[in-house]
Amino acid sequence: MTTTVPTSTSPLARHIWQRARGLLLAAALLAAAGVALAALRSAEHTAPLDPRSASPDGSKALARLLTHRGVHTTVLTDAAALRRESGPDTTLLVPFPDSLTERQRTAVRKAAEDSGRTVLLAPDARTTSALTPGVRTFAARPVQPTRPDCGLPAARRAGGADLGGRRYSSTARPAESCYPRNGRATLLRLHSPSHGDTVLLGTTDPLRNEHLDHHGNASLALQLLGPHPQLLWYLPSDSGAAPSDDQERSFFDLLPGGWSWAAVQLAVAALLAALWRARRLGPLVTEQLPVAVPAAETTEGRSRLYRKAEDRGHAADTLRTACRGRLALLAGVPRPQAHDREVLVPALAARVVHRASPAPDEPAYDEARIRSLLFGSAPANDTALLHLADELDRLEELFAPSGSQQHRRRTDKDITP
């Protein structure tokens, strides 16, 4: 039984690595970049006044301070959840009241009736008329350090803070006006006999990370948002906002928007690259060679390639295949069975038995030796390959018809360029 001999045309692991390492490196870089972006997005939000955002416009620092004071902050994005979570022991913060839809404004109004305190940041005239009737809104003023000038305990303890923006006054409800600018309050606290109070703040600056450590901003924000153990931070989103910190997020939630479309584009690009690099898109086409190469030169060129690659197994298989074809013709074995060892070897052995007595120096060719010569293993070195070539020549001469041209014995110079 012959062993399978690896040939120089078989792809080696080293060759495969050399061809694929560029693509593998690019894929690794893309994967690392995707993981890094996902990690960054999972660690930091960038929305303004988002209690999970560490950006200058975010409010993560304030949320951390509230947590240390025992106030749990919950980000709500759904109007139904806002009404369900509100209660006497909650503070409701609406950072962007002017962007609310009519349905969301109604939900905020009903939640304010149940909450212990409601804080509205910089509402305009239309919003105040809908959520806090009886409050007038005046033109905004630049934000700058301002003294409280009122008796509100939170304002007096905080002292000067960065206030300004829109200004307010109340004509129908009892209120405390603080941090006045041009006679109008930039912080207005409205009292209500039936439910909690409402605070209108003319600017969002005291709640932002970049301004929290200025003047009395941190103290004022903590006192306005921390009188109750639960803070509802309402950030509505039409498309469904990101889950809050206490909600579990999947890997796909961390990927940037539009990643599915980018994946489709990459798949199309990979398909086009595969078609471009394909070696065969149809049947082989015979092309007219520019010159005719003599068979001897082709044989010599192939032998040089075999020798350079030390591919003795392939060279021996070529010699044996050609010899089996010629011996099958001489032994009367059909061509389809010329390379079947169970048919060719017994036929040749039978002809050796009926042959005339061999010459004194001629080796004995029994069935085992014929099988080893025609179907044996690969030569171990160049000397064994030369010996095999000589033995195959002798075997052919043994079966050649009487009077035919004798085969020329190969020498080192004949088969080794």
Cα-Cα-Cα-Cα dihedral of 196, 200, 205, 206, to 10°? -40
Q: What is the spatial distance between Cα 374 and Cα 58, in angstroms, rounded to a whole number?
A: 83
Burial 282-295 (b: 16+ CB within 10 A, else e): eeeeeeeeeeeeee
Tell me: the pLDDT tens digits for 120-159? 999 998 988 888 888 999 998 999 999 999 988 989 998 9
pLDDT at 187: 92
Helix (H) or strand (E) holding 231: strand 230-234
Which one is predicted more confidently, 264 or 283?
A: 264
DSSP bridge pairs for 118: 92, 198
Radius of gyration of the chain (CA): 46
Does the pLDDT at position 298 exceed 80? no
Tokens of 281: 């898109």
| Topology, domain 43-245 | Rossmann fold (3.40.50)
Mean pLDDT of 222-246: 72
pLDDT at 409: 42
3-state DSSP assignment of residue 181: strand
Confidence band, pLDDT 50/70/90 cuts, at residue 242: very low
Tell me: the pLDDT tens digits for 362-383? 667 788 888 888 888 888 888 8
Does the pLDDT at position 240 exceed 50? no
| Of 240-249, 255-264, 338-347, minimum mean pLDDT range | 240-249
- Using a pLDDT cut of 70, give the percent of the chain over it: 81
Residue pointed to by tokens 């000038």 = 149
Contact 190, 175 (CB under 8 A): yes
Residue 196 CA, distance from chain mean position? 50
Which one is predicted more confidently, 11 or 2?
A: 11
Does the pLDDT at position 348 exceed 80? yes
Confidence band, pLDDT 50/70/90 cuts, at residue 64: very high
Averaged confidence pLDDT in the chain: 79
pLDDT at 123: 92
Tell me: the pLDDT tens digits for 155-213? 999 899 999 899 999 887 788 899 999 889 999 998 887 778 899 999 988 999 888 88
DSSP per-residue letters across 55-102: STT--HHHHHHHHHTTPEEEEE--HHHHHHH--TTEEEEES-GGG--H
160: left (phi over 0), alpha (psi -120 to 50) or beta: beta
DSSP bridge pairs for 161: 146
pLDDT at 254: 61
DSSP per-residue letters across 115-175: SSEEEEES--HHHHHHHSTTEEEEEEEEEEEE---S--HHHHHH-SEEEEEEEEEESSS-E
Nearest to 227 by CA among 157, 179, 323: 157
pLDDT at 393: 87
Neighbours of 324 (CB within 10 A): 22
pLDDT at 245: 42
Q: Parse the chain into domains and list their residue ranges.
A: 43-245, 295-415
Confidence band, pLDDT 50/70/90 cuts, at residue 41: low
Does the pLDDT at position 241 exceed 70? no
Contact 207, 121 (CB under 8 A): yes
Mean pLDDT of 2-13: 52
Tell me: the pLDDT tens digits for 389-408? 888 888 888 877 654 444 44
pLDDT at 72: 92
pLDDT at 29: 82
pLDDT at 350: 82
Which one is predicted more confidently, 31 or 72?
A: 72
Q: Is 280 exposed, middle or buried (0-12, 13-18, 19+ CB in 10 A)?
A: exposed
Tell me: the pLDDT tens digits for 95-127? 999 888 889 899 998 988 888 899 999 999 898
Amino acid identity of residue 107, one-letter, is A
Q: What is the spatial distance between Cα 155 and Cα 304, in angstroms, rounded to a whole number?
A: 96
pLDDT at 363: 63
3-state DSSP assignment of residue 115: coil
